[in-house]
Amino acid sequence: MIKKLIRRILGGADPGASVRPKTFGPQEHGIDPDDVSPNAVRVTQALQTAGYKAFIVGGAVRDLVLGLKPKDFDVATDATPEEVKRLFRRAFIIGRRFQIVHVMFGQELIEVTTFRGSSSEEAPKDAHGRVLRDNTFGEQHEDAARRDFTINAMYYDPSQQVVLDYHGGMKDIRSRMLRIIGVPEARYREDPVRLLRVIRFAAKLEFKIAPATRAPMALMAPLINNVPAARVFDEMLKLLMSGHAMACLQRLRKEGLHHGLLPLLDVVLEQPLGEKFVTLSLANTDERVRQGKPVSPGFLFASLLWHQVLEKWEAYRAAGEYPIPALHLAADDVLDGQTEKLALQRRIATDMRDIWAMQPRFERRIGKSPYKLLEHPRMRAGYDFLLLRCASGEIDADIGQWWTDFIDADSNEREALINRKPEDTSAMPPKKRRRRGGRSRNKARTESAD
């Protein structure tokens, strides 16, 4: 009843309404066939030759129309996963609930999905209306209606070079508008992760958010708390590694989505001390992504949470712990606090701990210590992290410079660097050190720094 009323008010934006797509030829969509992955074309052709429908779909079509380089290529088809698998030599069915097929070509993976049926009414939901299971196959127009944004619901047939557009995606691309398909409230309720996706695409593509898509966002934000942490984490990771992490975080704040939403974001956006550090780290990450360099989630999260670790590290030391055990205790506290809600994978948490634990070792610039550190498997990440700490003003820039010189040096120069008496071997901020003073404490740090 209420849903019907909302639909009427919104002008019949019923997700199931668009059964017949608009068709766009090469002149209109402007996709350059050279930008299309030859492997994705192989997959659609093989399926079509076997008598099935097959299209490139989703983000790849959006990016192709925009003239951007797609990150990866997804294919949608009316063949079942078993039927798809039979057509390719290296194809693997994955997923239990809703099966999809991974078709491998060397390093490239093409994800093939069977058209999904319309969801909603009968699908099992949680108490807040989030759809729990929803895995029926369906018609192409149903598959389109289940997708999140109009610009993500277009299908490209490389052999005919036509784009099928069920929800006005082409028009929205031209006016650079992000618009959710269907009734926004209902779509956020079904899957609150879409709130984060709005932010990511608006920031990444520099699109406006359609007023009706935007209006309920702040109000619906708490629904994200009911989503399994692992899914929120995946979407957060996509957001942070989109090459537009800073813009995304600013948007999250602007839309009122950061507060109390994710424990990590509260920390990141509301720690005045760490703001410079986080800003530098995200700018650095964005730059790497844009240059096509790899980014490690461990490094990223280690930097986002570093100032929380620093704070706790100091508290443990003030309570009389030796520096190294104090750092491990601080790391435990921070990781425990975050893993509970954020579902940090163990592998990522291990990387974070390694990077943090290496930091005091950079202070030891005597004897064999620097050589040992050079052999550490995560040396590069630890060193990059050290440079960020220098750049943010947390520690003396000299320490970073010393290590840069040491890494570049030959063996004689390395000896000279080690024998050069550093003016200050401590990596703690001078102000804080003065406050605590204590010769015995500095001695303890040096003794246990390895």
Binding site for Mg ion (CB under 5 A): 59
The three-state secondary structure class of 165 is strand
Q: Please state, in angstroms and rounded to a whole number, the distance separating the CA atoms of residues 42 and 305.
A: 44
193 binds ligand ATP (CB under 6 A): yes
Q: Using CB distances below 5 to 8 A depending on partner kind, what does residue 396 bind out of Mg ion, ligand ATP, none?
A: none
Report 71-90 residues binding ligand ATP (CB under 6 A): 71, 74
Amino acid at 21: P
Q: Could you say which of 191, 354, 363, 394 contacts ligand ATP (CB under 6 A)?
A: 191
Write down the least CB distance from residue 24 to Mg ion, Å. 21
Q: Please give the biggest Cα pair distance in the chain.
A: 81
Q: Is 359 exposed, middle or buried (0-12, 13-18, 19+ CB in 10 A)?
A: buried
Write down the least CB distance from residue 59 to ligand ATP, Å. 2
HSE (side-chain half, CA atoms, 13 Å) at 27:
0
Q: Are 176 and 205 in contact (CB under 8 A)?
A: yes
Q: Could you say which of 15, 21, 58, 298 contacts ligand ATP (CB under 6 A)?
A: 58
141 binds ligand ATP (CB under 6 A): no
The neighbour count for residue 3, using CB atoms within 10 Å, is 13
Would you say 19 or 374 has its CB closer to ligand ATP? 19
15 binds ligand ATP (CB under 6 A): no
Q: Please state, in angstroms and rounded to a whole number, the distance separating the CA atoms of residues 272 and 270.
A: 6
Would you say 147 or 307 has its CB closer to ligand ATP? 147
The neighbour count for residue 288, using CB atoms within 10 Å, is 17
Q: Could you say which of 148, 172, 185, 354 contacts ligand ATP (CB under 6 A)?
A: 148
C-alpha of 110 from chain center: 20
Would you say 191 or 363 has its CB closer to ligand ATP? 191
Q: Are 298 and 381 in contact (CB under 8 A)?
A: yes
Q: Are 129 and 189 in contact (CB under 8 A)?
A: yes
Report 199-228 residues binding ligand ATP (CB under 6 A): none
Select from 41-49, 147-155, 261-269, 279-287 the region that touches ligand ATP (CB under 6 A): 147-155
Q: Using CB distances below 5 to 8 A depending on partner kind, what does residue 359 bind out of ligand ATP, Mg ion, none?
A: none
DSSP per residue, 267-325: HHHT-HHHHHHHHHHHHHHHHHHHTT----HHHHHHHHTHHHHHHHHHHHHHTT--HHH
Q: Please state, in angstroms and rounded to a whole number, the distance separating the CA atoms of residues 351 and 270.
A: 24
Determine whether 405 is an active site residue: no
Select from 90-98, 188-196, 243-251, 423-431 the region that touches ligand ATP (CB under 6 A): 188-196
Write down the least CB distance from residue 113 to ligand ATP, Å. 8
244 binds ligand ATP (CB under 6 A): no
Sign of CA dihedral 148, 151, 155, 158: negative
Would you say 59 or 81 has its CB closer to Mg ion? 59
- Beta pairing partners, 226: none
DSSP 118: P
Give Cα separations from 311 to 177, 205, 274 (angstroms).
Answer: 42, 36, 10
Write down the least CB distance from residue 339 to ligand ATP, Å. 24
Q: Are 359 and 383 in contact (CB under 8 A)?
A: no
Among the options 63, 78, 143, 148, which is catalytic? Answer: 148
Q: Using CB distances below 5 to 8 A depending on partner kind, what does residue 193 bind out of Mg ion, ligand ATP, none?
A: ligand ATP
Q: Using CB distances below 5 to 8 A depending on partner kind, what does residue 326 bind out of ligand ATP, Mg ion, none?
A: none
Determine whether 408 is an active site residue: no
Q: Please state, in angstroms and rounded to a whole number, the distance separating the CA atoms of residues 224 and 130.
A: 10
Write down the least CB distance from residue 17 to ligand ATP, Å. 17
Would you say 59 or 298 has its CB closer to Mg ion? 59
- Kindly determine how many residues on this chain lie close enough to bind ligand ATP according to the rule CB under 6 A: 11
Closest-CA residue to 16 (of 167, 212, 125, 210)? 167
Write down the least CB distance from residue 74 to Mg ion, Å. 6
Among the options 63, 74, 134, 354, which is catalytic? Answer: 74
Select from 146-154, 217-225, 300-308, 403-411 the region that touches ligand ATP (CB under 6 A): 146-154
59 binds ligand ATP (CB under 6 A): yes
Would you say 152 or 271 has its CB closer to ligand ATP? 152
Q: Using CB distances below 5 to 8 A depending on partner kind, what does residue 142 bind out of ligand ATP, Mg ion, none?
A: none
With CB atoms as reference, the residue minimizing the distance to ligand ATP is 59
Q: Using CB distances below 5 to 8 A depending on partner kind, what does residue 143 bind out of Mg ion, ligand ATP, none?
A: none
Pairing of β 162-165 and β 100-105: unpaired
Would you say 169 or 382 has its CB closer to ligand ATP? 169
Q: Please state, in angstroms and rounded to a whole number, the distance separating the CA atoms of residues 28 and 45.
A: 23
E-strand spans in 123-216? 154-157, 162-165, 177-178, 208-209
Residues that bind ligand ATP (CB under 6 A): 58-59, 71, 74, 147-148, 152-153, 191, 193-194
As annotated, the active-site residues are 72, 74, 148
